[in-house]
Structure 1
Amino acid sequence: MPGIASGRRLIDGSAQGALLFADTGLSFWGGVDPSSGEVIDRHHPLSGQSVGGRVLAIPGSRGSCTGSSVMMELIANGHAPAALVLAEADEILTLGALVAQHFFGRSLPVLCVGHEAFATLRGQGWARLEGGSVSLYNNMPEDDWQPCQTPAQDDPAETGFELDHRDHELLEGTHGKAAQVAMQIILRMARLQGARELIDITQAHIDGCIYTGPASLRFAEQLVQWGAQVRVPTTLNAISVDQRRWRELGIDPALGEPASALGDAYMAMGARLSFTCAPYLLDSAPQLGEQVVWAESNAVVYANSVLGARTLKYPDYLDICIALTGRAPSIGCHLTGQRQPQLRIAVPALTERDDSFYPLLGYHIGALCGSRIPLIDGLQHLRPGLDDLKAFGAAFATTSAAPMFHMAGVTPEASDPACSIDSSGTLPHLSITPLDLLASWKELNSAWDPQVRMISLGNPHFSLSEFARLAELCRGRRKHPDVVLAITCGRAVLEQARAAGHLTVLDAFGATLITDTCWCMLGEPVIPIGTRSLMTNSGKFAHYAPGLVGRSVHFASLAVCVDSACSGSTCGEPPAWLYAASPVERSNHV
């Protein structure tokens, strides 16, 4: 008899296939190729495998909100898993399957079985999902089983929600087809999340404007055809190309034209032309306690943690649905009680450090936390600045599924170290050592070739203060003629940097400026053909680059990046402050 694990049906249906199991969360954006289904996250145990047609068993997703778009793309093009089995309910992947059901009439079953039952899937060869259970086999069963027809979608009005007259009008189509479908999707997701009411939100930031393939454009254009118009002020994330210069940069029209058209479609819905993955740098950034709907993983973490605004880690497409209605599920980080820390992490005292410390620390802590919100202790005396918190949060969001963090004595909801939000002292406690950070540094540094031909800066988009720091480092110097140093930023910050005189210095240095898009979407020829490796100061891009652009990475501080741009090479050694804190490891390395 086969083993059987039961769970909660997030999306109903039946399917079977060879089981693909991993006990590490997977970001579909940057982790799975949307055109083929290959796992391209080179740090993941499933790297090189294909998810297509298999029952994929993972604890949940992590990293980017765009995972829902990749999931929808895979379903639309036939390279999706046959089914998903999760340890924890996952909104990002589930939403992708739900939107594909609404817009393309295709989906896949998603089952959440809990951590204990999930562990029993390890080592199994075949899985079959029916109803609320998954049957496990060593090999493909020899019977004539056929999947049943996908059940009809539930009626979103019959979900036990407290809906006001505006919600009923939206559901009834009074405000148009686009808003009606958007409300249907919101209520289906809210039911899965366990919400019982909706709240008003004041603004939105849309991540679904990233082009993942034809389905992402079809989705947006369908909304435009239905007359979609946002009901709250809405900004747009970085898109997949520099909309004004993609031809000049040598981008293939097969990408440039639909990617640009996708940005236009969201602007046709009334969104602001912002095209930045750092909306917290705009003049429209929300205030402490403000209820918003933001997508893009680094932006969500920054909004919740540093600004003290309130948002979930919204999946792509749920963000625009909420922007079209102005209503969001009252759940998760929208609620004070669900913003509390679940883990306390002590950071070692380091007397010397450079700016690579914060992305390295964020990357390491994110991997430790999983989906738990951490309270980080030990950074009070360092007084991290906004750029430090930006770099920390982006790397944290890459390896964690948590929507926020707290820093004792630093972030607004933990600002008074004498009145800690862990006043009971009952949180699980972890301590980080310098050796732990050195291990993460080695993971981010995948390149062995000392030659440097590409420096990638601005993931997330550069701030005005980062431009000032870079100009200071570059003043009076000139990059090596064989090296490309490129910076991505939003249009608003670019003009601020121009007005401050920073671009004059960077032009003399030989830097390249790119707006609208970001390094998670850039490839050849912006990254020169034949380049074997690249250098970055971004923990986020150091993680994603091997899979996204097929290059190994040197991860270093901003100052080291500039030095390497001038010399064309790097020593590849960990920073002195990290070795100074790990003398035993240094002697072993030497």
Structure 2
Amino acid sequence: MSDVSLTGRSLVRGSAQGELLYTDVGLSFWGGVDPFSGEIIDCHHPLKGQCLAGRILALPSGRGSCTGSSVLLELLTGQNAPSALIFAEQEEILTLGVIIAETLFEASIPVLFVGPEAFATLRLGQYAHIENEKIHLSDMPSQEYSAAEATTRYSQLSTLAPSSLTLSDDDQALLAGHYGKAAQEAMRIVLRVAELQGAEQLIDISQAHIDGCIYTGPASLRFAEQLVEWGAQVRVPTTLNSISVDQCRWRAQGIDPAFGEPASALGNAYMAMGAQLSYTCAPYLLDSAPKAGEQIVWAESNAVVYANSVLAARTLKYPDYLDICIALTGRAPFIGAHRNQGRFATLRIDVKSLDSLDDAFWPLLGYHVGLLCGSEIPLLCGLENTAPSRDDLKAFCAAFATTSAAPMFHISQITPEAMRESQALGGFPPSRHLTIEPADLLASWYELDHAEASQVDLISLGNPHFSLSECAALAALCSGRRKHPDVAMAVTLGRAVYDDASAAGYITTLERFGAQLINDTCWCMLGEPVVPPTARTLMTNSGKYAHYAPGLVGRQVHFGNLAECVETACSGEASGRLPTWLTAVATRQGAH
């Protein structure tokens, strides 16, 4: 190719050169990239097996978990980070990881976004040289550059407050250090992100949910302990996401202390900042769940989507570490889904009707819709008569948040801001219009239910954490029965739901069946020995975990509804049956 030069917007300034690794599919760094080797481990991604170390990664956007910023921080403080990031659209989760690395650890890489048209041009290059907002593509690497000079520029830029942002007297006091070093540094980070987002003002928030308490490696603990050393105290009621271990039982579960101790210490560090002991990835199940219109700051991707879409509260898909920075200041940029204009759908998706739906339909649909919409907010039509439960919507939100970058969705006549289509669309026609056929869902079913062997060694339930009604449904399915001795079953749930389920007798029923109940942590953080070392295949009813499990724990996955999971736990064999609402589709395809 001839040399090509492009200009983008610099989100983090600096110089870099290296081999260009291009993809047109978004990537979640959490569950998609090993934080220590830099290898892409998402088995559904076209770059699986590639290593990011020293390469310039070009991808349309991030997607999935808010913990992507934490994974990138571990890479940047280690030896296997990419040398630069280029996005088609403005991206905040991974960018925040770079901002934290340069602010606290003096490590950084340049980050740019270039727009969809210029981004498509990147596929032509083998090597790229970046100098701030300039990108030069070529067939050969260019001359060396000075990374030390780039790092100096980052440090100087990170202390500047955006001149276009109106600050209150209290904001100025925070920035001046009147509330302590931790609040001052947190405010600097909030303002830097606000500048990148183009915010003109900050708003007060009523509560926060912290995702950064997930242990991704030593840098995540160093960050939290540094804030504690600086005297950090949250200014708003703050709950904590699942941590990486069951804090009360991890030793009894056989977790290696080399992991269990720092993972538990990370939870304690956030508690020391004044956060509540909640440890759940489903904060919408707590009594503190926000009301419609409430301005909040939640991280944890499934919770963000649920808060916006089902509760009609208002939050962005906040990255790890920005969540605690906002909790320490009580102030958030007034952009995106915090504003009316940022909540309208731009994509309409018609879903062809299917009969006899069960609880596997909703996570499957969420997974598929997320793949279609990218960062666009979709409006789903054709589901008006399906009457999904809150548990159905919870499963949809988790799977949708796994494959998309959008902070919310609308379902016509079901979610609160879509009672009328014009309400969800803001009175404007959609920019795109798609249709989901039953055959499309069948293809996504086979992506999630891909294990070759029928034998199942582990049943994984509770991603996100089980609700009380899910505990009741599972207990009814398990009552008077006993699982197969060679099959493990584990259910993750928050402490509050566990206490209610115990009082209702559900825990006793599940333990008699042979299930293990795990608090504080979630399947996205669990590994061996909770996942039996001899296990080769697991089964789950979670679209989110069916996507992440192959990369996180290296097992093949069967996917099915809750009843099918219980039947498999008893027999030790997955039936391989499709749900009735997909059977006719598969039969027609087989006939062809």
Contact 2:296 2:315 in 1 (8 A): yes
Deviation of 1:42 (Å): 0.6
Distance 1:140 1:102 in 2: 30
Give the 3 Å change call, closer, same or farther, for CA 556–586 of structure 1 in structure 2.
farther
Contact 2:162 2:195 in 1 (8 A): no
**Partner residue in 2 for 1:301:** 305
Instruction: Indicate yes or no: 2:476 matched with 1:476.
Output: no
Amino acid aligned to 1:255: F
* Structure 1 residues not aligned, in runs of 5+: none
Amino acid aligned to 2:547: H
Number of equivalences: 587
Deviation of 1:503 (Å): 1.1
Amino acid aligned to 2:89: E
Cα shift readout 1:345-388 (whole Å, capped 9, x = no counterpart): 11111111211000000000000000000001111111111000
**Partner residue in 1 for 2:221:** 217
Instruction: Indicate yes or no: 2:196 matched with 1:192.
Output: yes
**Partner residue in 2 for 1:451:** 455
Contact 1:447 1:533 in 2 (8 A): yes
Give the percent of matched residue pairs that are identical in Structure 1 and Structure 2.
Answer: 64
Amino acid aligned to 1:315: P
Give the 3 Å change call, closer, same or farther, for CA 408–251 of structure 1 in structure 2.
same
Amino acid aligned to 2:59: I
**Partner residue in 1 for 2:23:** 22
Instruction: Indicate yes or no: 2:329 matched with 1:325.
Output: yes
Contact 2:186 2:328 in 1 (8 A): yes
**Partner residue in 1 for 2:140:** 139
Q: How does 1:342-361 map to 2 (within 5 A)?
A: 342-361=346-365
Amino acid aligned to 1:260: S
**Partner residue in 2 for 1:97:** 98
Distance 2:566 2:455 in 1: 14
Distance 1:180 1:306 in 2: 34
Distance 1:240 1:479 in 2: 27
Deviation of 1:210 (Å): 0.1
Distance 2:578 2:126 in 1: 42
Q: How does 1:502-541 map to 2 (within 5 A)?
A: 502-541=506-545
**Partner residue in 2 for 1:231:** 235
TM-score of the two chains, using structure 1 as the length reference: 0.98
Instruction: Indicate yes or no: 2:281 matched with 1:281.
Output: no
Contact 1:453 1:484 in 2 (8 A): yes
Deviation of 1:581 (Å): 4.2
Deviation of 1:34 (Å): 0.5
Distance 2:27 2:144 in 1: 33
Deviation of 1:554 (Å): 0.1
Distance 2:34 2:174 in 1: 36
Deviation of 1:144 (Å): 5.1
**Partner residue in 2 for 1:167:** 171
Deviation of 1:520 (Å): 0.4
**Partner residue in 1 for 2:375:** 371
Contact 2:17 2:141 in 1 (8 A): no
Distance 1:517 1:244 in 2: 11
Cα shift readout 1:183-230 (whole Å, capped 9, x = no counterpart): 000000000011010000000000000000000000000000000000
Distance 1:320 1:571 in 2: 45
Amino acid aligned to 1:215: A
Give the 3 Å change call, closer, same or farther, for CA 426–244 of structure 1 in structure 2.
closer
Instruction: Indicate yes or no: 2:577 matched with 1:573.
Output: yes
Q: Secondary structure at 2:473's aligned position in 1?
A: helix
Distance 1:40 1:418 in 2: 41
Distance 2:106 2:421 in 1: 52
Instruction: Indicate yes or no: 2:565 matched with 1:564.
Output: no
Instruction: Indicate yes or no: 2:504 matched with 1:500.
Output: yes
Contact 2:56 2:85 in 1 (8 A): yes
**Partner residue in 1 for 2:433:** 429
Instruction: Indicate yes or no: 2:400 matched with 1:396.
Output: yes
Instruction: Indicate yes or no: 2:442 matched with 1:438.
Output: yes
Distance 2:127 2:172 in 1: 44
Deviation of 1:124 (Å): 1.9
Give the 3 Å change call, closer, same or farther, for CA 320–426 of structure 1 in structure 2.
closer
Deviation of 1:146 (Å): 4.3
Amino acid aligned to 1:467: C
Q: Secondary structure at 2:591's aligned position in 1?
A: helix
**Partner residue in 2 for 1:182:** 186
Give the 3 Å change call, closer, same or farther, for CA 204–145 of structure 1 in structure 2.
closer
Contact 1:353 1:578 in 2 (8 A): no
Contact 1:434 1:582 in 2 (8 A): no
Amino acid aligned to 2:478: C
**Partner residue in 1 for 2:41:** 40
Give the 3 Å change call, closer, same or farther, for CA 146–324 of structure 1 in structure 2.
closer
Distance 2:246 2:106 in 1: 33
Cα shift readout 1:394-444 (whole Å, capped 9, x = no counterpart): 000000000000011001111246966465544421111100000000111
Distance 1:170 1:563 in 2: 57
**Partner residue in 2 for 1:66:** 67
Contact 2:346 2:425 in 1 (8 A): no
Cα shift readout 1:439-466 (whole Å, capped 9, x = no counterpart): 0001111201000110000000000000
Distance 1:172 1:73 in 2: 30
**Partner residue in 1 for 2:123:** 122
Distance 1:419 1:22 in 2: 35
Give the 3 Å change call, closer, same or farther, for CA 586–471 of structure 1 in structure 2.
farther
Q: Secondary structure at 2:231's aligned position in 1?
A: coil
Q: Secondary structure at 1:485's aligned position in 2?
A: strand
**Partner residue in 1 for 2:549:** 545
Give the 3 Å change call, closer, same or farther, for CA 23–420 of structure 1 in structure 2.
closer
Distance 1:111 1:122 in 2: 16
Contact 2:242 2:281 in 1 (8 A): yes
Deviation of 1:257 (Å): 0.2
Distance 1:124 1:45 in 2: 18
**Partner residue in 2 for 1:246:** 250
Distance 2:357 2:289 in 1: 30
Give the 3 Å change call, closer, same or farther, for CA 132–533 of structure 1 in structure 2.
same
**Partner residue in 1 for 2:464:** 460
Distance 1:64 1:154 in 2: 25
Cα RMSD (Å): 1.3
Q: Secondary structure at 1:529's aligned position in 2?
A: coil
Deviation of 1:159 (Å): 2.4
Amino acid aligned to 1:547: G
Amino acid aligned to 1:16: Q
Q: Secondary structure at 1:520's aligned position in 2?
A: coil
Distance 1:418 1:153 in 2: 43
Amino acid aligned to 1:508: R
**Partner residue in 2 for 1:157:** 161
Contact 1:579 1:586 in 2 (8 A): no
TM-score of the two chains, using structure 2 as the length reference: 0.97
Contact 1:7 1:132 in 2 (8 A): yes
Distance 2:90 2:590 in 1: 42
Distance 1:417 1:130 in 2: 45
Distance 1:78 1:429 in 2: 44
Cα shift readout 1:486-532 (whole Å, capped 9, x = no counterpart): 10000000001011111121111111000000000001111111211
Give the 3 Å change call, closer, same or farther, for CA 475–51 of structure 1 in structure 2.
same
